[in-house]
Structure 1
Amino acid sequence: MIGILFVHSAGSYWSEVHYQGQTPFALKQGMYLIVGVAGAFFIQNKSFLRLTTFWHVLYIISVVLLIGVLIPGIGVVRNGSQSWISLGFTNFQPAELSKIAVLGVLALALAKEPKNKGKLYMRSALLLLLPIGLIMVQPDFGSAFVLVVAVFMLLFVAGLPLKFFFAIGLSGVIGLAALIISAPYRLIRIQAFLDPWKDPLGSGFQAIQSLLAIGPAGLFGFGYGNSRQKFLYLPEPQNDFIFSILLEETGFIGGLIVIMAFVVFFTTSYTMAARAKTREAQLMIVALTSLLVVQTFLNMGVVTGLLPVTGVTLPFISYGGSSLVMTWGIIGIILNLANTSGTEGRR
């Protein structure tokens, strides 16, 4: 509900100027919320979520969709990224489904603890690299980064040796350097992060406008609906930078309340993982919760100037049907796995 309120406040003027005559953002978000909650209730008691076959099929479907989004005429280009598939009434982002599918199959593979761990590591790497590569081609660095860090947290909880993480870390540094070299705009973003005022009307514009929203807000902000930065200063404020508008209107206290709500949610989810009766359920709940933890931290870090600008939504709050529906899908999966008795057969 906080998300609906601030999608309405942050996006009202942007919608009026750029999308005249179209359905308001808040109304669309409300429809996505109904679909997401209904989906969570539907799947929370379905036994197929505990079948290995389901997750393998979901993984294959997600890869097919990631390939499909790159085909001209199927994929939709927005803000320089071909990351969406048009469904007519809305757009769907396959990367959101892919993140869930990848973490699901990896959690199941790690839960089996095979004797040949080298084979497990190789399989895990292949399962991750294929969708990561397809996501980076779009390009969508934010989604790829969130998925990689969530996988890293899953592998740590699964008990992999520290030397494995050293190898991953070294590979990650080399890969990041290669990504920066292959796309110079990423280096520009890092430079803008270090000194946004060096190019205030270009690469540093979003970071500066976000800080101008947050800085003057004080303890209690300017009041709901009274944001100044949403009047075309902060680009598309209802999406990735909605937390800036929330802080501008509710101040430090409002931001702290939202952060504490996330902390309670994440703590509860990790507690449910610890109490789950099967290793598969434990690892999968940890993986999916970590996905939302990383995405939340990354979004808040970007809007407050702690991290370089990258396009990642704030779970539950940012405008976007794919993000909101898939987030509620994660809720349904967590509730389902937390209630498993451990007696279901696996196929």
Structure 2
Amino acid sequence: MSITVLRPTDQRPRDRRTNPRASNEGGLAASLRGLLPWPWEAWPTEARLLLGLVGLWCALGVLVLASASWWVAEREMGDGAYYLKRQLIWMAASWGLLLLGVRIPLRRWLHLAPLALLVGCLLVAATLVVGSTVNGASRWLVLGPLQLQPSELVKPFVVLQGAALFAHWRRIGLDQKLLWLGVFGLLILMILKQPNLSTAALTGLLLWLMALAAGLGLPLLLGAATAGGLLGAASITLNTYQRLRVVSFLDPWRDAQGDGYQLVQSLLAIGSGGVFGEGFGLSTQKLQYLPIQSTDFIFAVFAEEFGFVGSVALLLFLLLFGFVGLRVALSCRSNQQRLVAMGCTTLLVGQSILNIAVASGAMPTTGLPLPMISYGGNSLMASLLICGLLIRCALESGGLVPISRVSRRRRPVPAR
């Protein structure tokens, strides 16, 4: 028995060909669907949450950077939006990388990781020979109008190759273990040589935590931690500027106009914010009192304008992002996926907390940017690619398969 449902004549849908608005909406929806590997309705909750949180994180970064950089850009470049416009260009390119991270299967990224990591090591080595030196550190390669910071760009591939190594630790030979441990060790030493103690320490800590999550033996982990601590202590002892940073961290007010100036101005900015802040755009410390207010110490400007309440809200946001990322890691179907998700989450949230700790005087001054908020294209591109990889882990952990493998059958249309 067939049932026919009759539509009243006044409720028939309009012909899309005669409705330009419907046609435009359909084209826009089709374009958006074309950017995603699966229909939005099929995405797991964690993947949707992560994409929304990343979008919110980037929007916050644009607003904070606009406020932090406007006065300095107007004074130095004659255009208050100079740094903001450049950041928006980098952000558009970085979102392209995020979409690549979401669309390309994780196994392909893992196959690419060894070569990309080796190329990254070569680029880091090149900074020691032909790198551009700024404030005594050779961290950049200048290619025409572009300034590349290989130690930032290599971070996603450190996560990928670290996951591949530690996930198969018990199944690979000693030669493979020594090879990749040697590559990681050489990379950290070269970053330390630039010198860039903060990035070297972050890279070492990231790999150590991934090894811990993979269940490597306690003697190996203790040995690695001891070696890392000794290496960091040696770097601080041999590099005068690092030693002065530690001394100024212990008592910045002793030389408030000298070595402690940066931290003192940051603390003044944070303290000036009070409970609710001075208001968006109303920071006074950014008026060339606080150095590098658009990059490493942008959190101080944020805290001055949004106060204690805004700072706590930012920390809760990072906590939420970390919670969702760890849920993704726990739901992954393979150890390799789990380590990638854990590494991506640890890198983004951990670097953010370290940056905030430095700006608030809880750690010695370092050169770590605040992901997706600090000015800089290298950090932005690396961070959003890492976000794309994390979202890809969430999609694959939800059991989705590439859309090309799904038969695209048209739904049967009932006879009228």
Higher relative contact order (CA 8 A, sep 6+): 1
Q: Which residue of 2 aligns with 1:130?
A: 186
Would you say 1:203 and 2:259 are equivalent positions?
yes
Secondary structure of 2:141 counterpart:
strand
- Equivalent of residue 148 in structure 2, options 83, 92, 99: 92
Cα pair distance change 1:23/1:225, threshold 3 Å: closer
Structure 1, residues 30-84: CA drift from partner, whole Å, max 9, x if none? Answer: 1211111122113312136535431111111111211222332xx2222322111
Secondary structure of 1:53 counterpart:
helix
Q: Which residue of 2 aligns with 1:35?
A: 93
Q: Which residue of 2 aligns with 1:14?
A: 72
Cα pair distance change 1:49/1:9, threshold 3 Å: farther
Q: How far apart in 1 are the matches of 2:313 and 2:138?
A: 35
Secondary structure of 2:154 counterpart:
helix
Q: How far apart in 1 are the matches of 2:225 and 2:117?
A: 25
Q: How far apart in 2 are the matches of 1:51 and 1:206?
A: 40
Tell which structure's C-alpha radius of gyration is larger: 2
Q: Is 2:153–2:381's contact at 8 Å kept on the other side of the alignment?
A: no
Cα pair distance change 1:211/1:52, threshold 3 Å: closer
Gaps of 5+ in 2: 1-58, 403-416
Structure 1, residues 83-133: CA drift from partner, whole Å, max 9, x if none? Answer: 112243332211112222222112101111325786665344312111112
Secondary structure of 1:71 counterpart:
helix
Q: How far apart in 1 are the matches of 2:251 and 2:97?
A: 44
Q: Is 1:14–1:231's contact at 8 Å kept on the other side of the alignment?
A: yes
The within-5 A match list for 1:104-123 is 104-115=160-171, 122-123=178-179
Q: Is 2:206–2:343's contact at 8 Å kept on the other side of the alignment?
A: yes
Q: Is 2:72–2:80's contact at 8 Å kept on the other side of the alignment?
A: no
Q: Is 2:106–2:393's contact at 8 Å kept on the other side of the alignment?
A: no
Q: How far apart in 1 are the matches of 2:324 and 2:89?
A: 27
Q: Which residue of 1 aligns with 2:229?
A: 173
Would you say 1:81 and 2:137 are equivalent positions?
yes
TM-score, length-scaled by structure 1: 0.92
TM-score, length-scaled by structure 2: 0.77
Q: How far apart in 1 are the matches of 2:233 and 2:224?
A: 14
Q: Is 1:14–1:236's contact at 8 Å kept on the other side of the alignment?
A: no
Using the TM superposition, give the Cα deviation of residue 13 of structure 1 relative to its aligned residue in structure 2, in angstroms. 1.5
Q: Is 1:224–1:249's contact at 8 Å kept on the other side of the alignment?
A: yes
Q: Is 2:153–2:379's contact at 8 Å kept on the other side of the alignment?
A: no
- Corresponding letter in the other structure for 2:206: A
Q: Is 1:98–1:131's contact at 8 Å kept on the other side of the alignment?
A: no
Q: Which residue of 2 aligns with 1:236?
A: 292
Q: How far apart in 2 are the matches of 1:65 and 1:229?
A: 36
Q: Which residue of 2 aligns with 1:50?
A: 108
Structure 1, residues 163-213: CA drift from partner, whole Å, max 9, x if none? Answer: 222212221222122112211221111111110011111111111000000
- Corresponding letter in the other structure for 1:148: G
Q: How far apart in 2 are the matches of 1:116 and 1:313?
A: 36
Aligned length: 342
- Corresponding letter in the other structure for 1:44: V
Would you say 1:68 and 2:126 are equivalent positions?
yes
- Equivalent of residue 220 in structure 1, options 254, 276, 290: 276
Would you say 1:2 and 2:60 are equivalent positions?
yes
- Equivalent of residue 302 in structure 2, options 246, 261, 274: 246
Using the TM superposition, give the Cα deviation of residue 22 of structure 1 relative to its aligned residue in structure 2, in angstroms. 8.8
- Corresponding letter in the other structure for 1:284: V
Q: Is 1:70–1:82's contact at 8 Å kept on the other side of the alignment?
A: yes
Q: How far apart in 1 are the matches of 2:360 and 2:106?
A: 41
Q: Which residue of 2 aligns with 1:149?
A: 205
Q: Which residue of 1 aligns with 2:25?
A: none
Secondary structure of 1:44 counterpart:
helix
Cα pair distance change 1:342/1:68, threshold 3 Å: farther
Secondary structure of 2:336 counterpart:
helix
Cα pair distance change 1:131/1:61, threshold 3 Å: same
Q: Which residue of 1 aligns with 2:250?
A: 194
Gaps of 5+ in 1: none
Give the stretch that moved more between structures: 162-171 or 325-334.
162-171
Give the % identical residues.
Answer: 30
Q: How far apart in 2 are the matches of 1:313 and 1:92?
A: 15
Cα pair distance change 1:333/1:248, threshold 3 Å: same
Give the stretch that moved more between structures: 285-294 or 114-123.
114-123
Using the TM superposition, give the Cα deviation of residue 299 of structure 1 relative to its aligned residue in structure 2, in angstroms. 0.3
Secondary structure of 1:82 counterpart:
strand
Q: Is 1:277–1:342's contact at 8 Å kept on the other side of the alignment?
A: no
Q: Is 2:91–2:380's contact at 8 Å kept on the other side of the alignment?
A: yes
- Corresponding letter in the other structure for 1:79: N
Q: Is 1:278–1:342's contact at 8 Å kept on the other side of the alignment?
A: no
Q: How far apart in 2 are the matches of 1:110 and 1:140?
A: 26
Cα pair distance change 1:214/1:51, threshold 3 Å: closer
Structure 1, residues 5-31: CA drift from partner, whole Å, max 9, x if none? Answer: 111111111212233359611111112
